[in-house]
Structure 1
């Protein structure tokens, strides 16, 4: 089955590291990254969807980042 995550972070190198870590664990980019201005905190936020094929059945309590 395929699982989905949306990675988000302030638009800094930490976001790039978060996405790179997911890719190194077998996740695949899904679509284009997105950027939006966070008015409450005065920063740009970045997001990237990723997917991964797994052998297990999906359950709502699974920790997606640990797959």
Structure 2
């Protein structure tokens, strides 16, 4: 029997500041994650890159 893979309790989502990144954060929130702190933002010389930590409470 295959064991059920649990979602990690902590994740850091990173990527360009675009609609795809926003959807990834929204999907994590839909899975029960909560934002953990403010986003981190930097510029790599071509585009804005963001990082957002998310956490899930133990069930």
Tell me whether the two structures share a fold, i.e. TM-score over 0.5. Answer: yes
TM range (shorter): 0.7 to 0.9
Match of 1:31 among 12, 32, 37: 37
Stretches of structure 1 that go unaligned for 5 or more consecutive residues are 56-67
- Say which structure is richer in strand: 1
Alignment match, 1:58:
none
TM-score normalised by L of structure 1: 0.69
Paired residue total: 52
Q: What stretches of structure 1 move > 3 A for 4+ residues in a row? A: none
> 1:21-44 deviations in whole A, cap 9, x for unaligned?
0000000100001110113xx111
Q: What's the Cα RMSD here?
A: 1.6
Q: Distance in 2 between matches of 1:24 and 1:32?
A: 18
Q: Is 1:22 paired with 2:28?
A: yes
TM-score normalised by L of structure 2: 0.77
Secondary structure of the corresponding residue to residue 5 of structure 1? strand
Stretches of structure 2 that go unaligned for 5 or more consecutive residues are 1-7
